[in-house]
Amino acid sequence: MSQEIRSELRKLVERGIESGASYADARYQCHDYELITVENKILKSYSSRRLSGVGIRIIMNGALGYASTSDLTRTGLERALNNAIKIARSMKIEKGGLCESRVNKSDVKLSVKMDPFEVSPEEKVSITMDANKAAWISDEIKSAITRLGLSKDFRYFISSEGAELSVKTYLIGLGHESVAKVNGVMERVPYSESMCAGFEFIKSKDWNSFASDISELAIKAAGSKTPPPGTYTVVVDPRVVGLLLHEAFGHASEGDLVSSGESVLHGKLGKQVASELVTIIDEGTVEGGYFYPFDDEGVKKERTVVVKDGILKGYLHDRKSALQFEVEPTGNGRAQDFENQPIVRQTNYYMQPRDYEFEELIEDIEFGIYVRGKGATGGQVEVGMGTFTFGVGPSKIIRKGELVETVRGVVISGMILETLKTIDAVGKDLRMRTSVFGGCGKMGQTVPVGFGGPHIRVLKMTVGGR
């Protein structure tokens, strides 16, 4: 980032204060992104882009104004500042308060061995192409899509309080999706693996067998049945545990949703919200998760204990919700990009492991389902009621303590607080995930997140399917 922009932004923040603002900050971001897509052995697209711009936030007479622009000329920046001021003036409500926060000054870089944007286009295409070719393991495979995603994100933050931070991080990964058709039944299995790392991560893994494994699973799933709908004892794999916690519990623990009253966790601080085996953490930097040392309001993101032994200990906060709750900010004020204001978001959200081996989790189950995340299509939640629905991947029936046949089209649903209370065993194997191919959406903003947990056993889970 040029010194020129740093000094332009410093001036912009000063001008905001001179215009009568009590607080001003400016965030510059430059995001490079490459996505290589190979479909059915053809390089479908190699898209490469750069997005950069500035977001300006000001507080004036207690009202908050926000404006952003990708026009980085002096006129463009001034127009954005004026828009922010105009908004703050039209708002008649005092809504812009921020809690006290330590003023941080730091420049942080994720350390990588190989910058993925320095690797030749040829090499990146050939890795993606080879993985795609490896997916065609039989005539039953009807379609295969492979993607290589690379992201480099640089963020700079400066505030009228004196904070000045920059964070540079990389996120890269490979995703693959196979569609199989067996006896007229088609099944789609998408899966990906990503890491905050340099290109060495891509070099270290055998993506050809990664893709062919997905094809195998798709064929197996297409040839299998859906489970009979009902309520079962289930064992849930780390990916689904992470997804479930993040979507159905994590969002409900976000301070803004709690204070607006739409979270099912509203008013539950200090109360039991899960089985006593459950401890839930949100943490800025965890192996396998997303790298997030500071949030987009300049607050350091450390380890936040949300649930300890089943008791709700705290919520996640940005500086606004921390003020409302009269607590310290937890470093969860995150923005998708410069076009968006920071809002309360999770970072790396996970359940702490305990002591069960996987075999011990399933051995006592007479009839149940081993719910698996590989091939999951996503989920949705109503945070107000805590209801969730997830389309999970091809899963396994558990019969008399053994994993037996595969089932497809499995949909799990329930009320999160009831589900968490019926957890009667927690495994020892913590696994985290993150993804360069999308992330978590909230109020129109998508941010990369990490989530995970160990295997767990849930006594009652509603399973749909057909």
Partner 1 sequence: MSLAELAIKKALSKGATEAEIYVQRRKTVQVEFAEEIESFKTIESLGMALMVALGKKIAMYSTSVLDEDEVSEAAERAVKIARVSKEDPHWRHVNRKFGRASAEGYYDEKLKDLEYEEIIETLTSVVKWMKDYDRRVVPTRGILSISTSKILIANSYGDECERKETNIAVWVRAKAEEADMKGTGTEHQESRFWKGINFQDLALRTAEKAVKFLRAKPMPGGKLPVIIRNQVFADILGVILSGPINADWVQKGRSPLSNKLGSQIALDNVTIFDDGTMGGGWRTRPFDDEGHPTQRTAIIEKGILKSYLYDTYTALKEGLESTGNAFRRRYWMPPQPSPSNLILKPRRASPEEMIRETRKGIYIEGTIGEWLSNPVSGNINATVTHGYLVENGEIKKPVKGVIISGNFYELLKGGIEIIGEDLRNSGGNYSPTVKIAELTIAGK
Is position 97 an interface residue for partner 1 (rule: CB under 8 A)?
Answer: no
d(CA 57, CA 17): 11
What are the phi and psi torsion angles at 347 (to 5°)?
-110, -90
Cβ closer to partner 1: 72 or 459?
72
Residue 7 burial (CB < 10 Å; 0-12/13-18/19+)?
exposed
- CB nearer to partner 1: pick between 65 and 293: 65
DSSP β-ladder status, 402-407 and 411-415: unpaired
- Work out whether 80 is an interface residue with partner 1 (CB under 8 A): yes
**Considering beta carbons, is residue 279 or 395 the nearer one to partner 1?**
395
Restricted to residues 133-162, the positions that interact with partner 1 (CB under 8 A) are: 142-143
Binding residues for partner 1 restricted to 340-399, rule: CB under 8 A: 340-341, 377-382, 384-385, 387, 389-391
End-to-end CA distance of the chain: 54
Establish if 438 lies at the interface with partner 1 (CB under 8 A). Answer: no
Tally of residues, the chain: 466
* Under rule CB under 8 A, residue 40 binds partner 1: yes
Around Cβ 115, how many Cβ atoms within 10 Å? 12
Q: What is d(CA 151, CA 131) in angstroms, rounded to the nearest whole number?
A: 20
| Contact between residue 303 and residue 367 where contact means Cβ atoms under 8 Å apart | no
362 vs 412, which CB is nearer to partner 1?
A: 412
CB of 181 to partner 1, least distance (A): 9
Distances (CA, A) of 25 to 96, 113, 440: 13, 33, 25
**Distances in whole angstroms, Cα of residue 309 to Cα of each of 250, 334, 424:** 16, 28, 12
State the amino acid at position 301 in one-letter form: K
CB of 258 to partner 1, least distance (A): 11
- For Cα atoms 14, 18, 24, give the angle at the middle one, nearest 5 degrees: 50
* Amino acid (1-letter code) at residue 132: N
Please tell me the distance from the alpha carbon of residue 29 to that of residue 32, in angstroms, as a whole number. 10
Binders of partner 1 in range 50-69 (CB under 8 A): 50-53, 64-69
With contacts defined by CB under 8 A, how many residues of the chain interact with partner 1?
Answer: 78
Report the residue number, 96 or 173, with the smaller CB distance to partner 1: 96
Task: Write the binding mask 447 to 466 for partner 1: x where contact by CB under 8 A, - elsewhere.
Answer: ---------------xxxxx
Burial 170-207 (b: 16+ CB within 10 A, else e): bbbbbbbbbbbbbeeeebbbbbbbbbbbbbebbeeeeb
Q: Is 20 in the site for partner 1 (CB under 8 A)?
A: no
From the list 5, 10, 22, 46, which residue makes contact with partner 1 (rule: CB under 8 A)?
Answer: 46
* Residue 459: both structure tokens together: 């006594």
Q: C-alpha distances in angstroms, 197 versus 87, 120, 175, 327, 435?
A: 40, 17, 16, 34, 12
Q: Does position 42 bind partner 1 by CB under 8 A? A: yes
95: contact with partner 1 by CB under 8 A: yes
CB of 204 to partner 1, least distance (A): 23
Could you say whether residue 242 binds partner 1 (CB under 8 A)?
no
**Which of 283, 296, 297, 339 lies at the binding interface for partner 1 (CB under 8 A)?**
339
Cβ proximity to partner 1: between 162 and 378 the closer is 378
Which of 68, 395 has the CB closer to partner 1? 68
**Is residue 261 close enough to count as binding partner 1 by CB under 8 A?**
yes
Specify the residue, 81 or 197, whose C-beta has the smaller distance to partner 1.
Answer: 81
Q: Among residue numbers 167 through 206, which ones bind partner 1 (CB under 8 A)?
A: 179, 185-188
Q: Work out whether 130 is an interface residue with partner 1 (CB under 8 A).
A: no
